[in-house]
């Protein structure tokens, strides 16, 4: 009997090792949280073929949209933790809990790679009566409620940036006009439907270069290599140092419980893929900062991001539930 158990166990162990040694032995599914043509989609579809090469397997990507990405997240969280279903997402899930959009976030996942980070920028219609951040703030003080800011709903990049401005400046009396994405909002900006839009640099850079929109300030602590002449926000107000650098990011995740060697293999593949010159070039063109971090470093990045952002939104009274309820500690505590 004892021998049988040992035999069975060793057989199990053998097959387990064999399965892992062969990983990937079938197609891997990559679930993209956002629609085709968006930033997340572009990033994932351009890095994955290089990662496939390093991995020696195929990753079939599909877009699963809806409920601000929560449908895709729940789908992957509910699938087997065997490394054959990847979640390709952006920063939003870290705010699901406090925004009341879902009860799961990246804490249910192991990061394979945090690929890149974007820099927010405040852009304005070229005809607006202010040319930089300071002039904008002065104009808003004189004309409360008149300036129209684009927004993409609670938890979106514009809501975080306006919360930041509001907490640093002690209030921001503008009209927030909601759009369903930064693309449509920037279109509205160029048509004069809104005056100011906090957007990720990559989405606005071509419009800026063509003079269809002007930069009021880059939301960063140093000048940006893509726009070296544009002012950055800490030039106007030192207090922004508390929150910056901050930005949206893109990452690949697997559900918790995925075997360590599979995680290691996938992480290595995406690390190699992210260094491919074509991908590096693409990230640079779109104004994203390449990160390609994994393991503890990625975990630390995620929890720092979540703490800072969740509490910022909480203090601006934009959340549905306090971060405290979910054990998200206030930064510095």
Partner 1 sequence: MTAFMDFLTVFTQPELLLLVGLGTFAGIYVGAIPGLSVTMAVSILISFTFSWDVYPAISLMIGIYMGGVYGGSRTAILLNIPGAPSAIATALDGYPMAKRGEAGTAIGVTTVMSIIGGFVGIGVLALAAPLVSDFALRFQPRDYMLLAILGILLVGSLSQGSLVKGIFAGALGIAIGAVGRDPLTFAERFTFDFQLLEGGISFIAVMIGMFGVSEALLQLHHVNKDAVRQKISRIVPSLSTVKKHLPLSLQTSSIGVIIGALPGTGGDIAALMAYDHAKRVTKNPERPFGDGAMEGLVAPETANNAAVGGAFIPMMTLGIPGDAVTAIMIGALFIHGLNPGPMLMIDQPDMFWFIVGCLVMANIFMLIFGLTGIKLFTRIVEMPRSVLIPLIMLLSIVGAYAVNNSITDVYWMLGFGVFGYFMRHYGYPLGPVILGVILSRLLDDNWRRAIISEQEDLGRFFAGIFSSPLSLVLFVSVILIFVSQTPLWTKAKARIFSKERPRA
Which residues of this protein are in contact with partner 1, per CB under 8 A?
35-38, 41-42, 45-46, 48-49, 61-68, 70-71, 74, 99, 101, 145, 148, 153-155, 175-180, 183-184, 186-188, 190-194, 205-207, 209-210, 212, 278, 281-282, 285-286
Residue (143 or 242) nearer to partner 1, CB? 143
The least distance separating partner 1 from the CB of residue 277, rounded to whole angstroms, comes to 11
- In 3D, which of 154, 282, 128, 287 has the Cα closest to residue 219? 287
**Chain-centre distance for alpha carbon 259:** 25
How near is the Cβ of 168 to partner 1 at its closest, in Å?
25
By beta-carbon proximity to partner 1, the closer residue of 17 and 175 is: 175
- The smaller minimum CB distance to partner 1, of residues 136 and 263, is found at 136
Query: What spatial distance separates the first Cα and last Cα of the chain, rounded to whole Å?
Result: 55
The answer to whether 253 touches 90, Cβ cutoff 8 Å, is: no
Nearer to partner 1, 175 or 241 (CB): 175
Residue with Cβ nearer partner 1 (155 or 308): 155
Measured from the CB of residue 83, what is the shortest distance to partner 1 in angstroms? 20
Integer Cα distance of 327 and 324 in angstroms: 5
Whole-angstrom Cα distance, residue 38 to residue 43? 9
Instruction: Give dist(CA 123, CA 213) in Å, integer.
Output: 6
- Please, what is the minimum distance in Å from the beta carbon of residue 258 to partner 1? 22
List, in sequence order, every residue forming a beta bridge with 250; answer none if it has no partner: 90, 116
Question: Between 295-315 and 157-169, two packed helices, what is the crossing angle to 10 degrees?
Answer: 60
Residue 291 Cβ vs partner 1, minimum distance, rounded to whole Å: 19
Pairing, β 249-255 against β 109-118: antiparallel
Tokens of residue 42, six digits: 């572009």
Minimum separation from the CB atom of position 3 to partner 1 (A):
46
Dist CA 104 CA 12 (whole Å) = 32
Residue 330 Cβ vs partner 1, minimum distance, rounded to whole Å: 24
When the beta carbons of 194 and 233 are compared against partner 1, the nearer one is 194
Our CA dihedral for 88, 90, 94, 96, rounded to 10 degrees, sits at -90
Whether residue 150 contacts residue 158, with contact meaning beta carbons closer than 8 Å, is answered with: yes
CB of 100 to partner 1, least distance (A): 8
Q: Which is nearer to partner 1, 183 or 295 (CB)?
A: 183
Distance CA(220)–CA(117), nearest Å, equals 12
CB nearer to partner 1: give 107 or 187.
187
CA separation for the pair 16, 256 (Å, rounded): 18
Cα 248–249–255 angle (5° rounding)?
130
DSSP 90: E
């Amino acid at each position: 009997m004892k021998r049988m158990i040992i035999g069975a166990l060793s057989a199990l162990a053998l097959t387990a090792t064999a399965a892992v040694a062969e990983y990937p032995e079938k197609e891997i599914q990559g679930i993209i949280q956002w629609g085709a043509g968006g930033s997340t989609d572009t990033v994932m579809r351009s890095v994955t073929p290089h990662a496939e090469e390093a991995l020696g397997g195929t990753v079939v990507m599909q877009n699963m949209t809806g409920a601000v990405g929560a449908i895709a997240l729940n789908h992957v969280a509910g699938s087997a933790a065997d490394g054959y279903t990847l979640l390709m997402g952006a920063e939003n899930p870290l705010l699901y809990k406090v925004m009341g959009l879902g009860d799961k976030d990246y804490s249910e996942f192991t990061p394979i790679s945090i690929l890149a980070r974007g820099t927010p920028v405040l852009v304005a219609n070229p005809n607006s009566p202010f040319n930089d951040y300071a002039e904008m703030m002065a104009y808003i003080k004189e004309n409360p409620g008149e300036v129209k800011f684009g927004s993409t709903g609670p938890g979106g990049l514009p809501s975080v940036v306006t919360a930041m401005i509001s907490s640093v400046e002690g209030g921001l009396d503008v009209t927030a006009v909601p759009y369903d994405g930064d693309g449509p909002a920037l279109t509205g900006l160029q048509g004069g439907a809104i005056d100011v839009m906090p957007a990720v640099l990559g989405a606005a850079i071509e419009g800026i270069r063509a003079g269809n929109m002007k930069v009021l300030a880059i939301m960063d602590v140093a000048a940006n290599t893509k726009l070296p002449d544009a002012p950055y926000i800490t030039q106007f107000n030192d207090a922004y140092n508390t929150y910056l650098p901050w930005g949206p990011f893109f990452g690949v995740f697997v559900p918790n419980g995925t075997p360590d060697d599979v995680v290691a293999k996938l992480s290595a593949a995406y690390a190699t893929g992210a260094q491919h010159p074509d991908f590096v070039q693409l990230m640079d063109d779109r104004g994203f900062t390449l990160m390609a971090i994994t393991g503890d470093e990625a975990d630390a990045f995620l929890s720092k991001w979540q703490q800072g952002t969740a509490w910022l939104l909480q203090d601006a009274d934009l959340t549905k539930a306090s971060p405290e309820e979910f054990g998200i500690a206030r930064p510095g505590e």
